[in-house]
Chain A
Amino acid sequence: MRKASSRTGRSLLLLAPLLVFLIAFFVWPLFSMMSQAVSDPAVLRLLPRTAEVLADWDRKSPPTTPMQTALMEDLKAVNDDQALGDMVRRLNSARSGFRTLMGKTTSALADTGNPPADLVSIDKRWANPEYWLAIADALSPLTDRNLLAAVDLGRNSAGNIEHLPADQSVNRVILVRTFWIAALVTFACACIGFPYAIIAASLEGWKRDLMLAAVLLPLWTSLLVRTAAWFILLQEQGLINDFLRWIGLIDAPLALIFNRTGVIIAMTHVLLPFMVLPIYSVLITIPKNLMPAAASLGAPPWRAFLRVLLPLSLRGVASGGLLVFISAIGYYITPALIGGPGDQMISSIIAFYALGSANWGMAGALGVVLLVATLLLYSVYARLSSDDPGRR
């Protein structure tokens, strides 16, 4: 017993670097992204006294004196300008007008020579319960507004979920666009990758090695380099347009860059290995004599393909498709460099929220939406691929 447990201890020790790595660089970032998406401490952190008093409020009647006093005390105690800014931004996004109201209130409170009696005397808007309602709603440490906003939903003043107005509804369009581009890229990869894998698997020796190397080589090159190469190739004066004009196929250059076509060409190229390799690995496990057997039983080549090779290789196509699709919905660099403004995908929006506007909550929520979509797809795939007991 003792010996066994010491052996377990030793194997855990060997695993420790891996576990530490996974927790530090995988589990923790994932967890913090998801908690960013739903946590909302900006208001509660600064207004602890108000939170206590507001818990007894009926959400309808005009603000009472204790409520006003508590908020005044809270605001006087704030000495962190950045935290105050965060809170104002948060409140303003729930009820516009908070920015000016808070600015006026804090400067009035800062004037120690002339202390105000209550908040309503600073600004009449404080008598309006709607502002207090906004504060009360923002006091909860957890929120679903980021997640809802990620799919263009929001809560109205009554707390019901409804569509955001059209001028704020961009995420859903971009999500649909992201899935559409990913689907097109997956389709293009399957159309090119499937025949390619069939040819590679049917060859032997150096020819097969050459075909596989041609697929793998781009995989070993930096994504940025490959995208930059497409940037050069697809230009109006680029190699492709020059060549097409030289052979007389076109008169005017084709618009291949800063549009959807260019994004799909470049992404298909970048993601092709993820389609070819799974299909290839399935194809080489299919016995070589099945196609001759089908022919000897009277199947013309195309029927033999449809009845034998295609059903046997579908698993490879499905896993390749899943890999490509999941990778494609997270693409950022390629659409950013090759695409136009109408081709930006969800990752660009995430990057905008995370880096551009420091709205970590929104960035996290969109990330969660992507993660959920990916997990859903994967579970569908797992269900499909385990459905068939005859094949292993």
Chain B
Amino acid sequence: MKLTEEEKIIAVETTQQILAGVDRQNRGQLIPVLQKVQEKLGYVPQVTMEKVANHFAVPAVDVYGVITFYNQFRLTPPGKNQVKICMGTACHMRGAHIIQEAWERRLNITVGETTRDREYSLERVACVGCCTMAPVVVINEEVHGKMTPTRVDGLLFAHQLDKQKAKEGNADNEQ
């Protein structure tokens, strides 16, 4: 996925803002800084990794090593709606793979991908600790329990309705 010029500029500015005032000697801040960038942008662009490496005086490949090691970090922008399927034991035994396939079929992407309109991205997450509500899906920050393939359809439909409503409501503000 190629970034637009605008996205690149935002990435540089955001990184600089977050790095401002962070102690260069304190490598313990390296991961928190990357987390803050991801919180703002939804992913960690290459230029951020270079700036962070420079700031803490570590080889850039080590920052890349950190980003590719942890599940949390993304190298590409996520969809506007992040659908995360819980892969905990309880969810698995209650059919998380069936739910995953239902999402894949409906969104026409596989896990780890973003829809072409960047509206949805699909991920698997480690146990979110809602085992009693299995199987669980987290959409953005909201936890949905006791999922079924039909509820997948329902959630998507509700989302699309909301979007349409928001569009109609904000038609004036948007432009």
- Bound pair (A, B): no
